[in-house]
Structure 1
Amino acid sequence: MDEVKNVAYVIYRLGIRAQDLLDQGDRGFETRVLVQKAVYFLQRLGLMRGYVFDLYLHGPYSTQLADDYMWLARKGDEYISRVAEECAECQKLDGLLEYLGEIDLRTLEVAATLAELAAVKGNLEEAKGLTRRIKPWVDDEDIVAALQVLKDLGLG
Structure 2
Amino acid sequence: MDKDMNKLIAYFKYLGFRFDTSDFDSRFNVQKIVFILKSMGIDVSYEFRLWKHGPYCTLLADDYYKYNTHSSDSDYIISEDEKKILNGFSKIMDMDQKLLESVSTIILLDLVYSSVEVVIKKIKEIKSHLSDIEIIDGQNKAKELLFKGEFLTEELRNQIMEWEQID
Q: TM-score range by the shorter chain?
A: 0.7 to 0.9
TM-score (ref. length: structure 1): 0.75
Within 5 Å, which residues of 2 pair with 1:60-99? 60-72=55-67, 74=68, 76-77=70-71, 80-81=72-73, 83=74, 85-89=75-79, 90-99=82-91
Instruction: Quote the residue 1:5 is aligned against.
Output: 6
Q: Which runs of 5+ in 1 are unaligned?
A: 23-27
> Taking structure 2 as the reference length, what is the TM-score of the superposition?
0.71
Cα gap change, 1:100/1:67 in structure 2, threshold over 3 Å: closer, same or farther? Answer: farther
Partners of 1:52 and 1:152 in 2: how far apart?
A: 22
Runs of 4+ in 1 over 3 A off after TM superposition: 13-18, 90-94, 125-128
| Corresponding position: 1:29 with 2:37 | no
How far 1:93 sits from its partner (Å)?
4.3
Q: 1:151 to 1:76 in 2, by over 3 A?
A: closer
* 2:66 counterpart letter in structure 1: W
Q: What secondary structure, in the 3-state scheme, does the structure 2 residue paired with 1:112 have?
A: helix
CA contact (8 A) 1:53 1:61 kept: yes
C-alpha change, 1:134 and 1:4, in structure 2 (3 Å) is: same
Could you tell me how far 1:106 is from its partner in structure 2?
A: 0.8
Rounded Cα–Cα distance in structure 2 between residues aligned with 1:100 and 1:71: 30
Question: Does 1:115 find its partner at 2:110?
Answer: no
Paired AA for residue 104 in structure 1: D
Q: Radius of gyration: which is bigger?
A: 2
Aligned to 2:159: none
Query: Which ranges in structure 2 are unaligned for 5 or more consecutive residues?
Result: 148-167
Cα distance, 1:21–1:15 mapped onto 2, change above 3 Å: farther
Output the CA distance in 2 between the equivalents of 1:93 and 1:2. Answer: 19
Q: Number of aligned residue pairs: give it.
A: 142
Between the aligned residues of both structures, percent identity stands at 26
Which amino acid counterpart does residue 152 of structure 1 have in structure 2?
E
